[in-house]
Amino acid sequence: MRTLTRLLERFAAAPAAAENEAAAAAETPSAPPLPTRQVEGRREFHGLLWRPVLGVNDDEKLVVAARAGLPHCVRCERALTLAAGPRELWTCPSCGDSRPGSDADFFAAEAVIADDLREFISGHPDFRLAPTLSAPQRALA
């Protein structure tokens, strides 16, 4: 998870940094954070179960955040743990099923987020994606 989180943060921060700074500068510094509702999704991707979470602002009709979360075991629905070792291996603590890191890597997480964003927007056509989302997330959806 640490590796995945760092990868996601690195990828998300790099291309969108300039835009985020511009967006932050345009806002009033003392503005309180917008209230958000968490919308949990459920998607299978490459044999893993994901429960992506969107942060939604109902007043502004904006999707302000999106994260894939941890991959889960499709059989047990338990969150997989990343085992230490010579190669990255995600393992179910319940049934012991294991998956190579590539099944749960950055690209898988981004695909899960993109699918989840697409589904949410198609079901809520009056909502838009906020500039707080990373550029790749906004582009994918």
Interface residue list for Zn ion (CB under 5 A): 73, 75-76, 92, 94-95, 97
Q: Nearer Cβ to Zn ion, position 3 or 94? A: 94
Q: Residue 23 Cβ, how far from Zn ion at the closest point, in Å?
A: 41
Q: Residue 71 Cβ, how far from Zn ion at the closest point, in Å?
A: 11
Which helix (H) or strand (E) segment is 71 a member of? strand 71-72
Q: Residue 47 Cβ, how far from Zn ion at the closest point, in Å?
A: 11
Q: Nearer Cβ to Zn ion, position 49 or 133? A: 49
Q: Nearer Cβ to Zn ion, position 48 or 112? A: 48
Distance CA 90, CA 46 (A): 13
Distance CA 80, CA 65 (A): 23
DSSP-derived 3-state class of residue 6: helix
Beta strands in 87-137 (DSSP E): 89-91, 98-100, 128-129
